[in-house]
Chain A
Amino acid sequence: DTGVSQNPRHKITKRGQNVTFRCDPISEHNRLYWYRQTLGQGPEFLTYFQNEAQLEKSRLLSDRFSAERPKGSFSTLEIQRTEQGDSAMYLCASGLGQNLNTEAFFGQGTRLTVV
């Protein structure tokens, strides 16, 4: 499978714990995005990387959230001191190119449940 891969697919954690999600983009894709989606809503943009540089962050990305993309390959999204409101689907997408005339491809997401 050469699509965007996200792990784990599901995560249940207790409130206050830290969690980390991983995204493996399509090979050689230089752009990588993280989104969050709650039930009944469209995906909300969190952050964007071009290669290893984090170029844009949404105000939704509070201080408890951090994303990295070392060496411009896979990316991790960490949530510290999880809260029940963090329960959502976390989606990763990747794309290729330097202009806006290129699509992004999404993974299947990681569903987080904070209990």
Chain B
Amino acid sequence: DAKTTQPPSMDCAEGRAANLPCNHSTISGNEYVYWYRQIHSQGPQYIIHGLKNNETNEMASLIITEDRKSSTLILPHATLRDTAVYYCIVRVSFDMRFGAGTRLTVKP
């Protein structure tokens, strides 16, 4: 699977949008971009995924650049409960390879 690069940590003010970047410059044409998050001591939670078009669901929006070399996960109105480690994964096979992720801290 293509390697991803994420900042190790980010802060966000409660109520503001949280924009989490991910670089995946070696992504191939058939590799999907997936985002999961993990709140302390819980299993990872699926957020959203996409191939090349931007996607939106009730949790977040996923913006993928036209060349697909990077993407941004957007949490439109971050709450304290969004504090977690966020993982960006690109996958071509059925298994998913997690990196270290970004630790997002939402502050009041």
Residues of A within 8 A of B (CB): 4, 31, 33, 35, 41-45, 48, 50, 55-56, 58, 91, 93, 95, 100-101, 103-109
Contact = CB atoms under 8 A, between A and B. Distances in A.
Interface in B7-51: 30, 32, 34, 36, 42-46, 49, 51
Interface of B: 30, 32, 34, 36, 42-46, 49, 51, 85, 87, 91-101
Dominant SS among interface residues on chain A = strand
Contact of A100 (B32, B36, B42, B85): B32
Contacts of A103: 34, 46, 49
Contact of B96 (A45, A55, A107): A45
Contacts, number: 58
B96 A101 contact: no
B94 A48 contact: yes
Contacts of B92: 100
Closest 4 CB pairs of A and B: A42-B98, A106-B43, A103-B46, A45-B95
A45 B46 contact: no
Contacts of B101: 42
Contact of A56 (B44, B93, B98): B93
Contacts of A43: 44, 98
A86 B47 CA distance: 29
